[in-house]
Chain A
Amino acid sequence: MSFDGALVRKDFPIFERFIDGAPIVYLDSANTSQKPRQVIDAMTSFMQNSYAPINRSAYRLAGEATDAFEAARSKVARFINARSADEVIFTKNTTESLNLLAYSWGRANLNAGDVVVLTHLEHHANIVPWHMLQAERGIVLRWVPLTADGQLDLTDLTALLTDAKVFSFTAMSNVLGTITPVQQLCDAAHAAGAIAIVDGCQYVPHNVTDVQAWGADFLAFSSHKMCGPSGIGVLWGREQLLDAMPPFLGGGNMIADVRLDGFTTAPLPAKFEAGTPAIIETIGLGAAVDYLSNLGMANVREHEMKLGSYAIRTLTERYGNDISIHGPTDIASRGATLSFAFAGIHPHDLSQVLDQRNVCVRAGHHCAKPLMRLLGVSATARASFYIYNDESDADVLVDALAGASDIFGF
């Protein structure tokens, strides 16, 4: 069942703000999402009524705070259908989750000549940690290429995965919106004897996520793109793999015992959570998961398919050959994240003109410079839709683009 974006928008206080007398048309949710009152209130209430240290004090208030923190972990586990909440590790964000994997799993398991397979869709966060391991260990990187419409070209996947130890890939491109066949990719990784790491940063906020149905080994995602606060993210991993990994950061909370001659690690998930975590933000993430669960992730996907189709159709009808939307044309293969080129106008200039109408889009390389080079551009403009957008936002975008062609149309 779909829902009305204009009604959802009422839950987000930022949309009560007017800039230059007009409302905000926020089309940059692939960058970061806005926050509903439910999340803001949960964080405020926790600070006002329940704030205390977690996992280390005997008084009742600390017990309450610990329970609230762990309840958020359970909510996240249910949200992605993890077998157990112990498989959910809280990190800073997707970037830290992927770095944790490269650092901990990578250093324990990868040596010179070992193969890690990535794709041409990846964000820098799923490239640079492996580059760092390449420089340190001499691992070999292979890349899954793309088809002309920005989907993974799986023709030679079996050959690319031969002898690979890791296949790490995005479930949804932050530039092209491409949704990848995650289950198929996990199966292919396992058939080759590799582990499957899923970058779910763009996918998880917009779709039903089921790590068990995928058969994935690890999943990384961020709170701030799914209505939660910034500063908190998730690494989910299969218990057996997490248990076998060495710890990442050392310090308080992650130990069972410390002596002068060494330490032993705490069981999962504390083993990977050194130091006082982002407690308030974790409460906020739990509230965001509740908020999205109430909407229903299948409904979120349906809403965005309708909205994405509408935006693609109206942009194309109005501007024809002057607009070129990168990535898959079929909404079934993509999310409502639309990178586009318009009338040869530089994305930075487009964004400037759109800002006159309070239309917020991203202009830049989207932290995916290898993909930009493949597209033959230095930057794109990107309009990304979420639960609080509706067709009127797409209409304003379409109208506002005319202003750019008035100034630069040559």
Chain B
Amino acid sequence: MNAILDIKGLRACLRGRSENAYVIDGLDLTVQEGEVVALVGESGSGKSMTAFSILQLLPPAIHITDGTILLGGHDVMKMDVRTLRQVRGTQASIVFQEPMTSLNPLMTVERQIAEMLLIHGKATRRTAPGKVIELLELVRMPDAKRRAKQYPHNLSGGLRQRAMIALALACEPRLLIADEPTTALDVTIQQQILKLLLDLRDRLGMAILLITHDLGVVAEMADRVAVMYAGRIVEHGPVVELLEAPRHPYTHGLLSCLPAEHADPDERLTEIPGLPPQPGSIRQGCPFAPRCPRSDAICTEVEPAMTSDGASHYKCHHPWTAP
């Protein structure tokens, strides 16, 4: 298999703070062609920043200091502006978290999608409207012909997210980055959108990097999972192994937060004590050590290296044992 995305040793720094305020700190991540990889973690763990860095869309305050991001075999950080613009949308595209604000309120859906087709030469002014309808039908937008002429405010959240997905798919990217695509939607719409994404993956054969904090979504969607904490991947592996036999105490903690299937409704849910570290506050050792029930002296001194055990990969001195 070929890797469509291969990130190695990525470090991104928050400008204006101390030298070590890294929001992404030595991140390695690979996505193979046609694969669905879920990137999970708490808010502030650097998931979205990782997504933005792939297409060089990071806010001006954050800049990448080290590492390589190979997208389709080419390093996006070495690309000039022209090449980068060419890559955006055709190699990879992004579906954002907030369908309410991620479309231009003053442009019709049709114009926003057609614009994408036109700049990449995938349609002419004459053929664009037809292609837009096709795309909207692909994402099962009801009444696509009428919806195309409408503005974002005429559409509900779910429909806007469909329009956003149609936009992202317009130039047939090999990687779709979905940054919490269902967080802002209600549960039934969430299901429809997730099903749509999987269905599109099967039909179009693209890879999906799904960013989420919802482990239910992960179980349903992903082939592989990478767990992110404090700007780095602490554990990754195939979805079944990772969810059934987590090795890293953080993954273990995340999974114990979920309510059990037949739990007593009055029972208190377990939680991971403490808060994730602020960027720059971890100087040495394992970033999870202060919150970890299994940590000891070595954890606060030495940052564990990535260890492989069968299909599981984890960064921990005292992992849970495989069953």
Chains A and B form a bound pair: no
On A, residues with C-beta under 8 Å from B are none
On B, residues with C-beta under 8 Å from A are none
